[in-house]
Structures are given as structure tokens and as C-alpha cells.
Amino acid sequence: MPIIVNLDVMMAKRKMSLNELSEKVDLSLSNLSILKTGKAKAIRFSTLEVICKALECQPGDILEFLEDEKAL
């Protein structure tokens, strides 16, 4: 998948656990875990907004686009 989720990287930079982030953004641990592991198929802008506020970052710090080598 060409979209990489770097949520774990940002959480580590902010020294924040999944439990702590879950409480701050009012999302279930399972939903955050799905996002963190890159298994999510979509994310709402409102969810991305609260995560960015909690981690004091930009959406580009969490989501990264990598060109699919098969498409080249």
C-alpha cells in the first residue's frame, strides 16, 4: 500500500502510549491500533484532526505517500 501510517513514530516522539492517546482523542484502543498498524482502509478528517491536536503535529507527520514500484 503506498500510504504509510507513521502514528507509532509520532507517538514515540511525543512519548505517548496508545492508552494515553486513546483517552486524549476519545477513540477506542482497537480503532487506534488498526490505524497504527496500517490496517485501516480510511480515516476521517475529524479523527485525523484530533490526533494531530493531541500529538501536536501535522497530518503529513502521520501519513506518508510512497510511490508503488509496481506502477512504474
The CATH code of the domain that includes 56 is 1.10.260.40
**What pLDDT band is residue 21 in, cutting at 50, 70 and 90?**
very high
18: cell is 496508545
Take residue 58 and report the three cell numbers written for it: 501535522
Q: What average pLDDT does range 18-38 have in this prediction?
A: 95
pTM of the complete model: 0.87
Integer Cα distance of 48 and 62 in angstroms: 9
Give the model's pLDDT for residue 71: 56
Which residues sit opposite 4 in a β-bridge? Answer: 64
Range of the domain at 9: 3-66
Bridge partners, 13 (sequence order): none
Question: What is the number of domains present in the chain?
Answer: 1
Res. 64: pLDDT tops 70:
yes
